[in-house]
Amino acid sequence: MEMGLNGKVALVCGGASGIGLETTRMLAAEGARTVIGDINGPAAREAASALRTAGFDAGDVTVDITDRQSVGEMAEQVYRSHGRVDVLVNCAGIAGDKLFVESELEDWLKEINVCLLGPMLCAKAVLPRMIEQKAGRIITLASDSARIGQARLSFYAAAKAGAIGFFKSLAQEVGRYQITVNVVSPSATNTPLRIRREEGFRQSMGEVAYADRVKRVLRMYPLGRLGEPRDIGAAVVFLASSQASWVTGQVLSVNGGFTMP
Ligand SMILES: NC(=O)c1ccc[n+]([C@@H]2O[C@H](COP(=O)([O-])OP(=O)(O)OC[C@H]3O[C@@H](n4cnc5c(N)ncnc54)[C@H](O)[C@@H]3O)[C@@H](O)[C@H]2O)c1
């Protein structure tokens, strides 16, 4: 299937690790000119360099998506080097793992800043030129925890649910410019973010109880396995492609059947 991504400029925020990194690779494999934006500058640089070594078109820029000035500078840099942004992927995320009663305002704000405010700032930075171009794709990573709720992830789920509401509304505002805005909603996917969280569980629960948890979690997935970054990347590539030109304002759960909202 022709994806129509050859030569398109794709900016992947949070692209230095996990789902963002694999998504960048998959977009690049479709011929996109990719730029990794990430707060971890050295990791972004290394990832882009590895992609170039593999024959792909990849650049990098250091950005803190929670900082308006930093996002503005990222956009300027990409417009200077690439002239346009056709696809924005909002992949940056942190998972605040705590019971709500044990959490503080600072925890909530951190999560809201990265998972809601950051994607809004990134969208704001690229939209004026997408409107001029009368074309664009914005894809944001949410989480099924936002769709069904999840203990210990309440403020993360709240921020992600906010992003879903925001991007659906934005889809209604910018559809007339042929800009599509969609959300991909994963469940447990094997990335550094999830591995860090699981390691915390393993240490606090002990080996036996943790092994039990792993089995229990797997039973919640009708397809019998957790996600891999490429499972999520494939959905992002589709939504970024010309094949998805009539898909907007949607939330696509990619989750092995964990939820069927
Ligand atoms: N892995 C999962 O199980 C899972 C499940 C549901 C949703 N998600 C979502 O998918 C997205 C990708 O997650 P992942 O598992 O690949 O995580 P990851 O930790 O592997 O990668 C996240 C990237 O975001 C970057 N980042 C964090 N804060 C940033 C900031 N302020 N500015 C710029 N970059 C920043 C990190 O440096 C990192 O490179 C996130 O939005 C996450 O919430 C992941």
Looking from the CA of residue 160, the nearest atom of ligand 1 is: 43
The CA distance from 140 to 126, in Å, is: 14
Say whether pLDDT at 151 is over 90: yes
Q: Which of 13, 17, 60, 156 to mutate to test the pocket of ligand 1 (most atoms within 8 A of CB)?
A: 17
For residue 259, is it within any domain?
A: no
Ligand 1 site, CB within 6 A = 13-14, 16-20, 38-40, 63-66, 91-94, 114, 118, 141, 143, 186, 188-189, 191-194
> What is the per-residue pLDDT across 69-79, written as a single tens digit (0 to 9) for each?
999 999 999 99
Q: Tokens 């629960």 map to which residue?
A: 205
Q: What range defines the domain where residue 101 resides?
A: 9-188+228-251
Q: What is the pLDDT, as a whole number, of residue 261?
A: 86
How confident is the model over 181-215, as pLDDT tens digits?
999 999 999 999 999 999 999 999 999 999 999 99
Which tens digits make up the pLDDT trace of 223-260?
999 999 999 999 999 999 999 999 999 999 999 999 99
Is 173 within a domain?
yes
Residues known to be catalytic? 156
Q: How far apart are CA 201 and CA 119, in angstroms?
A: 29
Contact 31, 2 (CB under 8 A): no
Bridge partners of residue 181, in order along the sequence = 138
Residue keyed to tokens 């860090």: 196
Say whether both 157 and 181 belong to one domain: yes
CB atoms within 10 A of CB 150: 15
Report the percent of the chain where pLDDT is more than 70: 100
